[in-house]
Amino acid sequence: MSDETSQMIEGYDDPSDQRSFSLDDTSSTEESLDNTRQFLQLSTHAAPYIGQRFATHDAAYEFYSEFAKGCGFSIRRHRTEGKDGVGKGLTRRYFVCHRAGNTPIKTSNESKPQRNRKSSRCGCQAYLRISKSMDLGIPEWRVTGFANHHNHELLEPNQVRFLPAYRTISDVDKSRIFMFAKTGISVQQMMRLLELEKCVEPGYLPFTEKDVRNLLQSIRKVDQEDDTVDLLRMCKNIKDKDPNFRYEYTIDANNRLENIAWSYASSVQSYDIFGDAVVFDTTHRLTAFDMPIGIWVGVNNYGMPCFFGCVLLREDNMRSYSWALKAFLRFMNDKAPQTILTDQNMCLREAISFEMPRTKHALCIWLIVAKFPSWFNAILGERYNEWKAEFYRLYNLDTMEDFELGWRDMVHSFGLHANRHITNLFALRTLWALPYLRSHFFAGMTTTVQSKSINAFIQRFLSAQTRLAHFVEQVAVAVDFKDQAGEQQTMQQNLQNICLKTGAPMESHAASVLTPYAFCKLQEELVLAAHYASFPSEDGYFHVRHHTKLEGGRKVIWVPHDGIVNCSCHHFEFSGILCRHALRVLSTMNCFQIPEHYLPLRWRRINTSPTKLLQVTLNDHGERVQALQSMVSTLVTESSKSKERLQIATEHVSMLLSRIREQPVLAHGSRDSSSTRLLISSSGHS
């Protein structure tokens, strides 16, 4: 789609200076007949002709509209002559191309921001004129003028349907949308459900997400003022019960709630360890109020999403996002994340650069890919899947040079030179393409698996939006960290199922320190490391490449004295897990343990220091198990550093086990003792 074509679709609703459109009442029939022949070649729809008759002017409009749709443009009503009920009444009507006229120059108003959108109006002279006739005393409308010359590009059949004139929501679809809105699902999910129900490809519905949002906004019937009062009362009640609950809000000039953000004590504690990489998802809205909602989410040491905070905003602009980011930083004791992932929101991008200048901002690849069907499916047709596969290949490339060369080839191969989405994606490539992001830590949140997990987590408290106060309750239930018995049991099962694959001392060392989630990631790299060869160079680094390749590879630097290993692939910087290249060098240099620095706290089984754990009163069974698990992990780590330490630990653990087995087993105690045996046994085998 060319720039002009995009402009035709996007700028349709700009105001037009009708005086700039001049129609000659004596338009020649000869010119119209030539133009009619021209359009008959472009469209299978019958063309209007001079003298054609219609019972009503609405019938003429519908006929001309269908003709225009088949040709690649849309029409709008223009001038009229006469007036119903006055003299001869309405005597003449003009219908024109949607690009007729020119946009007037707006007077600037410093107090009111202006939307700088390009106009689609280009002074097109295509029109249809009809005049009322009273032959035989029966009123009818005849075509008296018809010009088909367009001074702009006409749209293809798969593009013309995006014009507003042809975007309609039927009564049946409206009923379905209203029903979906009551369930609280997002507009994007509504669109997907309707596509599935109608058996159409993504992007082929006769309306867009914007049309659905406008519809929902027009039928809002809930009294927001009463609901916001309930919301503030709810937050105050939570604060009274839990002094560590944090919330902030703003009131506008009319004393109405403008913005509100909140977080929980457990969220602040989690952020202290796992707040290095954060997703700020602003793609959802509270359907009943059409309010933007922002959700801060991260990933804990077990690879599970953890909630950091939530914000409701009245406006989707930089001022609102700046306030939200400031509130979030205050909640988190002014500790900004290392990296933050968001949607393609320019207002949010500007706010982050201002409020978090040292934080690396990137775009969520899964939020970008989710828009591909509506962006490219209709344009690429049968080649859509082929293009998508090529996009993923480019996304995962190693170097910036290869990415940019491959992107140019892809654009040429698929004829996407003028596509605005492709242009925007390339302009923002440093924010989403992996070759530009590998030196920054993202905790694995750029992967498809994690994106689905995070989205499912968010949907837990977006699934039933009713009233605002109820929504806050849903969030509280969804992020209740005290009720995770099922998740704790899964963790314990994963500990029991850990299986060593290489027999390397580094593997058993990692298994004793890392969570099952992080260990599996490291284990994958350890297994693959065996397929690589390392060659020391004169410059003091190692050249590591796959055993089947004679060229290429990675540069690894190893400083034994400082325990520093660094690879040019930046896998550790990106994920917090050592890469196969670095592990190969460590193995070559007879390292039997992974250097402490490369087993980061955020991937260990320890959520906080053992000292702090002992200072806390642990009444909950799950918390007790977790504390014991952390202490045992630390015990194994410290004991394995020397033969003497290991001997002391073995003797004391043996005595401890004997004492525990002597204790009577009660209904609840049974779980405690069995868990203890499991943890110590598992750690011992590691």
Give dist(CA 373, CA 192) in Å, integer.
10
DSSP letters for 488-548? HHHHHHHHHT---SS--HHHHHHHHHB-HHHHHHHHHHHHHHTTEEEEE-TTS-EEEEETT
> What is the per-residue pLDDT for 491?
56
Instruction: Indicate if the pLDDT at residue 661 is higher than 90.
Output: no
3-state secondary structure of 546: strand
Give dist(CA 104, CA 617) in Å, integer.
71
Q: How many CB atoms are located within 10 Å of the residue 134 CB?
A: 9
How far CA 373 is from CA of 12, 204, 388, 570, in Å, comes to 23, 9, 10, 32
Q: How many CB atoms are located within 10 Å of the residue 409 CB?
A: 12
pLDDT digits (tens, 9 = 90+) for 237-265: 888 888 888 999 998 888 888 899 999 88
pLDDT digits (tens, 9 = 90+) for 424-435: 999 999 999 999
> What is the per-residue pLDDT for 624?
55
Cβ burial of 611 (10 Å; 0-12, 13-18, 19+) is exposed
* Stretch 89-118: mean pLDDT: 71
The chain-wide mean pLDDT, for the chain, equals 79
Taken in order 184, 186, 191, 197, is the CA torsion positive or negative? negative
The percent of residues in the chain predicted with pLDDT above 90, rounded, is 36
Give dist(CA 619, CA 617) in Å, integer.
6
> What is the per-residue pLDDT for 637?
58
Would you tell me the crossing angle of helices 187-198 and 209-218 to the nearest 10 degrees? Answer: 110
Give the residue among 518, 516, 512 at the shortest CA–CA distance from 684: 512
Instruction: Indicate if the pLDDT at residue 561 is higher than 70.
Output: yes
Give the residue among 53, 38, 28, 21 at the shortest CA–CA distance from 145: 28
Taken in order 178, 182, 186, 192, is the CA torsion positive or negative? negative
Give dist(CA 48, CA 71) in Å, integer.
13
* Six-digit token string for 381: 């047709």
Instruction: Indicate if the pLDDT at residue 116 is higher than 60.
Output: no
Question: Is the pTM value of this prediction over 0.85?
Answer: no
Give dist(CA 32, CA 465) in Å, integer.
56
pLDDT digits (tens, 9 = 90+) for 480-525: 644 444 455 555 555 556 788 888 899 999 998 999 999 999 999 9
Side-chain-side CA neighbours of 189 within 13 Å: the count stands at 16
Residue type at 595?
P
Give dist(CA 58, CA 630) in Å, integer.
77
* Six-digit token string for 509: 């060392």
Give dist(CA 546, CA 531) in Å, integer.
6
Query: Would you place residue 205 in the very low, low, confident or very high pLDDT band (cuts 50, 70, 90)?
Result: confident
The percent of residues in the chain predicted with pLDDT above 70, rounded, is 74
Give dist(CA 278, CA 300) in Å, integer.
11
